[in-house]
Structure 1
Amino acid sequence: MGRLLSVILIFISCNTIGSELIIKMQNREPIVLSHNDVLSHFEPTTFQTQLPWVDGKKSFTGFKATSLIDFLGVNDAFSLSFIALNDYAATSRIEDVIQYEPIVAYQMDGHHMKVRNKGPYWLIFNLDKYPEIDNAIFHSQMVWQIDQILIHRRSDGN
């Protein structure tokens, strides 16, 4: 019985931790956003698109990556790095983030994304709206299972 309780507590704590989003910038304390923080601070954006990793067109809901920059009052970002639970990371140039408006999705087809289905957060570019970015360069930027976002600023000496 004790072993079963331990497994249940580990499962619950992993799901709770998995829905936190950590935002980092050089020379600042990390900002930890719970899923409720994400829902209350950022206006949801929804679009449908077809992606190489899922069958058919799917509906994704999340917040625009630019909304995070605006929320934090950062006006000198030059790129964003998205880091997955397994430490896979990819960086998107701020020009691409502004032009193509990717979202940090937390729902697919109206359902909260769990770790087993690429959640809790997945950077999604709308490939149907912008077919010119339906290529390996942008595919590699669509990190799933995101738990951290790094904002690189010009003032960081980068």
Structure 2
Amino acid sequence: MRIAALIASLTALLWFFSTPLLAADLTLRSGGVVVKKYSDTDLSSMPKATIDTELPWLEGMNQFTGVKLEELFTQANTPLPELITFIALNDYKVSIRQEDIKQYQPIIANRKNGKRMSIRDKGPYWVIFPLSQYPEIDNTNYHSMMIWQLKEVRY
């Protein structure tokens, strides 16, 4: 009995520490077909965008660095769709309209305060809107669009 419990504990530990590696890629999918997979390195090599903002889930001002959503589609040679669905590791989904993306320039952040975000820290990828720059979007509608632990972008 003790051996079975030990094996179960070790399996859980291995899964826990390997999950960040498994969640490292961000998938761009259209009509069920994978268009592109982006690694943290891929995103870091694209033109960077930074948003300094306060968020309801964190203390004080934080700096997020990543890539603008428009740039993600430019890099994939794909026009920005009218509606984009974002999916988290826990399968939470949210859709964002093109007009919100163009007006507020959210990013897919892969760094918070200069450090790579772990799954425990709402990473590895987090859609961030500049709430401090646009107080009119500091509401639950836009908060719900700031999906963290992002794994997939569909259109």
TM range, normalised to the smaller chain? Answer: 0.7 to 0.9
Q: Which residue of 2 aligns with 1:28?
A: 33
Task: Identify if the C-alpha distance between structure 1 residues 73 and 30 changes in structure 2 by more than 3 Å, giving closer, same or farther.
Answer: closer
Shift of the alpha carbon at 1:12? 4.2
State the partner residue of 1:85: 89
**One of 30, 38, 43 as aligned partner of 1:38:** 43
Question: 1:8: how far off?
Answer: 5.6
- TM-aligned CA deviation for residue 28 of structure 1: 3.4
SS in 2 for 1:29: strand
Give the aligned CA root-mean-square deviation in angstroms.
2.0
Aligned residue identity for 1:47: I
How far apart are the structure 1 equivalents of 2:47 and 2:25?
18
Q: Match of 1:66? A: 70
Instruction: Tell which structure's C-alpha radius of gyration is larger.
Output: 2
Q: Distance in 1 between matches of 2:125 and 2:71?
A: 15
Matched, 1:104 2:108: yes
3-state SS of paired residue (1:104): strand
Q: How many residues are treated as equivalent by the alignment?
A: 150
CA deviation string 1:86-119 (max 9, x = no partner): 1111110011101100000111111111011110
Unaligned runs of 5+ in 1: 152-158
Q: Partner residue of 2:57?
A: 53
Partner of residue 155, structure 1: none
Query: Aligned partners of 2:44 and 2:71: how far apart in 1?
Result: 12
| Corresponding residue for residue 24 of structure 2 | 19
| Runs of 5+ consecutive residues of structure 2 not aligned to the other structure | 1-5
